[in-house]
């Protein structure tokens, strides 16, 4: 899991991984998240970097620290996180994606059939007829 990229700070990438765990239900509301030490050791990063990732989730009301027990997903935390992530996507990611879609002249039907069409075309190109 130490495949960090340079386009954003490591603590944000760790925060995103924690968010994905919560959104996917890997860690349910009321359950403990992996410890700072555990994540830091697993990812070979400074524990302060992991703490910053947790603090970002605490700040938006998704995670709470229980003294001596660790970090837990708050009741209602998943719904709050989902709202936050949707808002962030629509404000930050979607305009860029939409701009690229328009620049490429893609139509909605192209987007809906792209994965299937791309797989078929790559399979056809990979086959050799003798």
CATH number at residue 82: 1.10.10.10
Count how many domains the chain has: 1
For residue 24, what are the CA distances in angstroms to 16, 68, 84, 87? Answer: 12, 26, 15, 18
pLDDT in tens, 33-76: 999 999 999 999 999 999 999 999 999 999 999 999 999 999 99
Residue range 76-94: mean pLDDT, rounded: 95
Instruction: Note the Cα 35 to chain centre separation in Å.
Output: 19
DSSP 75: T
pLDDT in tens, 91-122: 999 999 999 999 999 988 888 887 754 544 44
DSSP 33: P
Expressed as residue numbers, the domain containing 70 is: 1-130
Its pTM surpasses 0.85: no
Measured CA to CA, the distance from residue 11 to residue 14 in angstroms comes to: 5
């Amino acid at each position: 899991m130490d495949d960090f990229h340079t386009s954003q700070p490591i603590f944000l990438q760790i925060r995103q991984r924690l968010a994905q765990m919560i959104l996917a239900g890997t860690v349910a509301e009321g359950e403990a998240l992996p410890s700072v030490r555990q994540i830091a050791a697993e990812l070979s990063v400074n524990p302060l970097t992991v703490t910053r990732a947790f603090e970002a989730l605490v700040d938006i009301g998704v995670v709470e620290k229980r003294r001596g027990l660790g970090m837990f997903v708050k009741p209602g935390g998943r719904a709050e996180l989902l709202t936050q992530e949707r808002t962030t996507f629509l404000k930050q990611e979607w305009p860029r994606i939409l701009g690229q879609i328009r620049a490429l002249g893609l139509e909605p039907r192209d987007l809906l059939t792209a994965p299937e069409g791309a797989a078929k075309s790559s399979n056809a190109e990979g086959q050799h007829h003798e």
